Structure 1
Amino acid sequence: MKPIALSREETTEMAEKLKAYLEDEFELEIGTLQGEVFVQFIAEHLGPGLYNRGLADAQAALARRVEDFAEDVYGLQQKVPRRR
């Protein structure tokens, strides 16, 4: 599996959100570089688990749709008349 790669813009945006969260919740101020390094750490070490959870959710949703589709197709079947 290839590693999760964030664009510079995504990293910056996430770092700003992280900085704001840490300041609001813990009164902890970090610099921009620290925020970006932390975002990269999260992407590398926590990202794969979150990504896999998303894939599992998508797979479950797809399975439900396939099951619904199979039921719809079954409902379209016509009865074959019996020969007397």
Structure 2
Amino acid sequence: MAIKLQQAEQKDLVGSIQRYFKENMEEPIGDLKAGMLLDFCLQVIGPAIYNQAIADAQAHMEAKVADLSVECYEESGHYWKKK
């Protein structure tokens, strides 16, 4: 599954890459090269991060579902025990 970004988010990330290069590298980076670097990161690094995020979300949801039997349990037969 290819990671697709919204155009505004992609523009922000390209700007962030350019800022990083300006502050930390000897040479600035242009729009085209920053965009290519972003595409590379999305294709090579992105899937590993995405897969870990999905695994984390799945583990979180499984823990919540496991808690349902405790959180939502209601003992039956209370009506006759009250009298």
Tell me which interval the TM-score lies in, with the shorter structure as reference length: 0.7 to 0.9
TM-score, normalisation: structure 2: 0.78
One-letter amino acid of the counterpart of residue 78, structure 1: S
After TM superposition, give the deviation of residue 33 of structure 1 in Å: 0.7
After TM superposition, give the deviation of residue 77 of structure 1 in Å: 2.4
Partner of 1:55: 54
Partner Cα separation in structure 2 for residue 52 and residue 28 of structure 1 = 33
After TM superposition, give the deviation of residue 15 of structure 1 in Å: 0.7
Unaligned runs of 5+ in 1: none
Where do 4+ consecutive residues of structure 1 move more than 4 Å? none
Q: Percent identity?
A: 27
Partner Cα separation in structure 2 for residue 73 and residue 3 of structure 1 = 39
Equivalent position SS for 2:53: helix
Equivalent position SS for 1:65: helix
One-letter amino acid of the counterpart of residue 45, structure 1: V
Equivalent residues, number:
79
Equivalent position SS for 1:50: helix
One-letter amino acid of the counterpart of residue 77, structure 1: E
After TM superposition, give the deviation of residue 79 of structure 1 in Å: 6.5
